[in-house]
Amino acid sequence: MTASDDGKPCSLTRFLIEEQRAGRIGPDLRLLIEVVARACKRISITVGKGALGGVLGDAGGAQGASINIQGEAQKKLDVLSNEILLEANAWGGHLAALASEEMDHSQPIPDVYPRGNYLLLFDPLDGSSNIDVNVSVGTIFSVLRSPEGVDRPGDEHFLQPGTAQVAAGYCVYGPQTTLVLTVGHGTHAFTLDREIGSFTLTTRGIRIPEETKEFAVNMSNQRFWEPPMQRYVGDLLAGKEGPRGKDFNMRWVASMVADVHRIMTRGGIFSYPLDSKCAPKGGKLRLMYEANPMAFLVEQAGGAASTGRQRMLEVQPTGLHQRVPVFLGSKREVEEAVRYHAEG
Ligand code: AHM
Ligand code: MG
């Protein structure tokens, strides 16, 4: 357990107050993070009910499946988690607008509530394909500043590169519920103490090992990858006898939050590269809701994040739901993957 200065366990609330006193965040950002964390607790409880809460399965009714802007069938928990985050964040006065992977367009805060200076983006329930089989899923979020002088932000005001993020985090709903957060001064993990309902600091200043022998990728897409990716993974698989000179292990949960959390814990490289199936869309994972917040968290933990050809956080977004190829995790290994792409 990572204690406060007085030796007592450090709650998320106390951590944020100390960050505010140190001048690293203001009161509005503190409130925003508290509200998102509270929503994550509700999502954690809802996810944990499973079949008993009637929350498994697809959204939509007799009229057929409910399809989101991504063209994907929504699960009931996608919709519920989205509603929990929208409701929690509407009235606090800390936000100007919010955007979700599950909604076509961003939403300004309703006129009946005061409007703040921040923009919030989220993937309410990442890893949806794992919901019904009781495997870890999670929430990912990213916070940007609302541009000065804009009263009612629209989609275009969200199109800021990842370097402009002021905070990012994810909450993984697994055997433990863990919130991992950065406000630009390191990456920290808080475990939900289910008995008292409070997030408690359990790792201050996560450091991702620079070297790794573990990679995460959906190998079933191998034949659809571009030549640099084929060569890179081919060399990983060649192990000790190959050019990399060491054996690699592989993991693929198919929940980005869970795969990234493993990398935060023990290192590794996560990739969802371009393949000929997702190439027309630019990739599989979303820049604004998945790649950028994870890239910010990973860089703040000493790791690296790239599209394979460009530092992730420097990509200039062109659309709210834009997709990108993703390579992130242990610094040296991400640099290796980038090197294969630079060779063409
Ligand atoms: P989702 O946000 O609709 O759940 O999709 C994103 C997920 C990631 O969590 C995960 O890395 C990837 O999709 C898994 O894709 P695949 O099913 O192709 O392995
Ligand atoms: Mg997702």
Residues 277-330: pLDDT tens digits?
Answer: 999 999 999 999 999 999 999 999 999 999 999 999 999 999 999 999 999 999
pLDDT for the residue numbered 44: 97
**Structural fold of domain 214-343:** D-Maltodextrin-Binding Protein; domain 2 (3.40.190)
- Residue to probe by mutation, ligand 1, list 284, 321, 324, 328, most atoms within 8 Å of CB: 284
Q: How confident is the model at residue 66 (pLDDT cuts 50, 70, 90)?
A: confident
Q: Are 84 and 39 within 8 A, CB to CB?
A: yes
Q: What is the mean pLDDT of residues 205-209?
A: 98
Q: CA–CA separation, 28 vs 9, rounded Å?
A: 24
Mean pLDDT score across all residues of the chain:
95
Taking residue 149's Cβ as centre, other Cβ atoms within 10 Å add up to 5
Taking residue 331's Cβ as centre, other Cβ atoms within 10 Å add up to 22
Q: Could you tell me the distance, in angstroms and rounded to a whole number, from the CA of residue 279 to the centre of ligand 1? A: 15
Q: How confident is the model at residue 63 (pLDDT cuts 50, 70, 90)?
A: low
117, 121, 124, 129: CA torsion to nearest 10: 180
Q: Are 263 and 331 within 8 A, CB to CB?
A: no
249 lines ligand 1 (CB under 6 A): no
Q: CA–CA separation, 305 vs 230, rounded Å?
A: 19
Intrachain domains 12-203 and 214-343 with the same fold? no
In the chain, where the domains are located: 12-203, 214-343
Distances (CA, A) of 281 to 70, 225, 232, 254: 10, 14, 23, 19
254 lines ligand 1 (CB under 6 A): yes
What sign does the dihedral 88-90-94-96 (CA atoms) show? positive
pLDDT tens for residues 101-133? Answer: 999 999 999 889 999 999 999 999 999 999 999
pLDDT tens for residues 4-14? Answer: 777 788 999 99
pLDDT for the residue numbered 341: 95
214 lines ligand 1 (CB under 6 A): no
Q: Are 55 and 76 within 8 A, CB to CB?
A: yes
HSE-up of 162 (CA within 13 Å, CB side)? 30
Q: Could you tell me the distance, in angstroms and rounded to a whole number, from the CA of residue 107 to the centre of ligand 2? A: 19
pLDDT for the residue numbered 326: 98
127 lines ligand 1 (CB under 6 A): yes
pLDDT for 17 beyond 90: yes
Q: CA–CA separation, 77 vs 75, rounded Å?
A: 5
pLDDT for 168 beyond 90: yes
Q: CA–CA separation, 344 vs 337, rounded Å?
A: 11
Q: Are 36 and 85 within 8 A, CB to CB?
A: yes
**Structural fold of domain 12-203:** Fructose-1,6-Bisphosphatase; Chain A, domain 1 (3.30.540)
Q: Are 148 and 160 within 8 A, CB to CB?
A: no
- Which pTM does this prediction carry? 0.96
Instruction: Compute φ and ψ for 19, nearest 5 degrees.
Output: -65, -40
Protein residue whose Cα sits closest to atom 19 of ligand 1: 254
pLDDT for the residue numbered 62: 61
Q: CA–CA separation, 344 vs 326, rounded Å?
A: 17
pLDDT tens for residues 235-273? Answer: 999 999 999 999 999 999 999 999 999 999 999 999 999
Q: CA–CA separation, 341 vs 177, rounded Å?
A: 36
pLDDT for 3 beyond 80: no
pLDDT for the residue numbered 105: 96
Based on DSSP, count helices (H) and strands (E) in the chain, helices before strands. 7, 17
